[in-house]
Amino acid sequence: MQQKSKPKLAVWKFASCDGCQLSLLDCEDELLAVTEEVEIAYFPEASRAVIKGPYDISLVEGSITTQHDAEKIHHVRHASRFLMTIGACATAGGIQALRNFKDVKQLVPMVYANPKYIETLNKSTPIADHVFVDFELRGCPINKAQLLEVISAYLHGRKPNTPRYSVCMECKRNGTPCLMVAHGTPCLGPVTQAGCGALCPLYERGCFGCYGPAETTNTRALSEQWKALGKTPQDLVRAFRTYNAYAEAFRKESDTHES
C-alpha cells in the first residue's frame, strides 16, 4: 500500500519555561504513536534534525519579549498552515507579563549588573497580538491530554473538544465540595477556564487561575466574595496578576483594585 506523506509538525519557542513543549515529550504512552501520524520536522528541544518548512502544524510556546522575537513570529506564521499557541505565555503573555504593569527599565537593573547588555521590550505580549492564531490552548502548563486532542482533531478535520466553561463545572463533575462555600477558601475557579480537571480543589487548595479567564466571567462578583472572606484589594491585585495577568478579564479586574 502506498504511504501517504505525513503532516509536518514544528515546535517553536519564545520566552517561556519549556514546560508546555515538554508536555509533548511527557506523552510517554502516546509519543511514538504520535510520530506514526505526524512527522516531527522541527523540534530543537528533542532533535538536531531539521526538515524544511512549510509546516502543517506549528506549536508555539512562549511570549514575545524581544524585538528579534517580534520579527521571528512573522516568519513562523508564514511557514505554518495551522498555528496553535500552547500555554499561558503564548496565549496571555505569561508570568513575565507582570512587567507590563511596571517600568521595565527599573526592573532590569534589579537582576542584571549591566542593563545595557540586555535587549528586551517593555511588554511581554501573547502571540495573537502579533500574528493570526488558528487555535489557542490554555494553561500553565497545558494539559497534555488536551494537546493530543487538538492535534488529533486537526488530523481528522474536526473541531477540538476543549470547553471554555469554568473550573466550577469540573469540580461538580469530580464531586468536590465547593471550597469557598464549605471552607471559606478563596478560589478563582468561578472565573477560570476548565481544562486542568479542577486539580487544586482536589488537593484542598483554591484555584489560582493558571488556565486564564473562562469564556464568560463575572470577576467583579467574585472579588466581592473574596472581600467578604477577608481578602484585601492588594490580595485581589496579586490574585488576578499571576500567570495570565495580561489576559483582558484578569487585567481589567486587577486594575480596579489597584489604588
Partner 1 sequence: MKANGATKTTQTKVIKVDMIARVEGEGALYVKIKNRTVTDVEFRIFEPPRLFEALLRGRAYSEAPDITARICGICPVAYQMSAVHAIENAFGITVDNTIRNLRRLLYCGEWIESHVLHIYMLHAPDFLGYADAIQLAHDYPDIVNRGLALKKAGNDIVRVLGGREIHPINVRVGGFYHLPTKQDFGALLDKLKWARDAAIETARWTGSLPFPDADYDYEFVALHHPDEYPMIEGRLLSSKGLNIAVSEYDNYFAEEHLARSNALYSFLKGRGAYFVGPMARYNLNFEQLTPLAKETALSSGIGTTCTNPFKSIIVRAVETVYACDHAIQIIENYNPPENSPDVIHTRSGTGYGCTEAPRGILYHRYRLDDAGSILDAKIVPPTSQNQKVIEDDLRRVVETNLDLPDEQITMQCEQVIRNYDPCISCATHFLHLHVDRM
258: closest CA among 246, 93, 241, 189?
A: 241
145 binds partner 1 (CB under 8 A): no
CA distance 188 to 179: 11
* Exposure on the CB side of residue 218, measured as CA atoms within 13 A: 5
Q: Given the rule CB under 8 A, which of 91-99, 126-134, 157-165, 169-177 is the region that contacts partner 1? A: 91-99
Pick between residue 1 and residue 32 the one whose CB is nearest to partner 1. 32
Grid cell in block for residue 131: 500574528
Q: Given the rule CB under 8 A, which of 21-29, 146-154, 215-223, 251-259 is the region that contacts partner 1? A: 21-29
188 binds partner 1 (CB under 8 A): no
Which residue in 37, 71, 204, 248 binds partner 1 (CB under 8 A)?
A: 204
Least distance in angstroms from the C-beta of 8 to partner 1: 14
Helix (H, G, I), strand (E, B) or coil at 71: helix
Taking a C-beta distance cutoff of 8 angstroms, is the pair 186, 236 a contact?
A: no
Grid cell in block for residue 238: 496579586
CA distance 66 to 158: 35
Residues making contact with partner 1 (CB under 8 A): 13-23, 25-26, 28-29, 31-32, 35, 40, 43-50, 65-66, 69, 94-96, 98-99, 104, 107-108, 110-114, 117-118, 120, 124, 140-141, 196, 199-200, 202-205, 208, 210, 238, 242-243
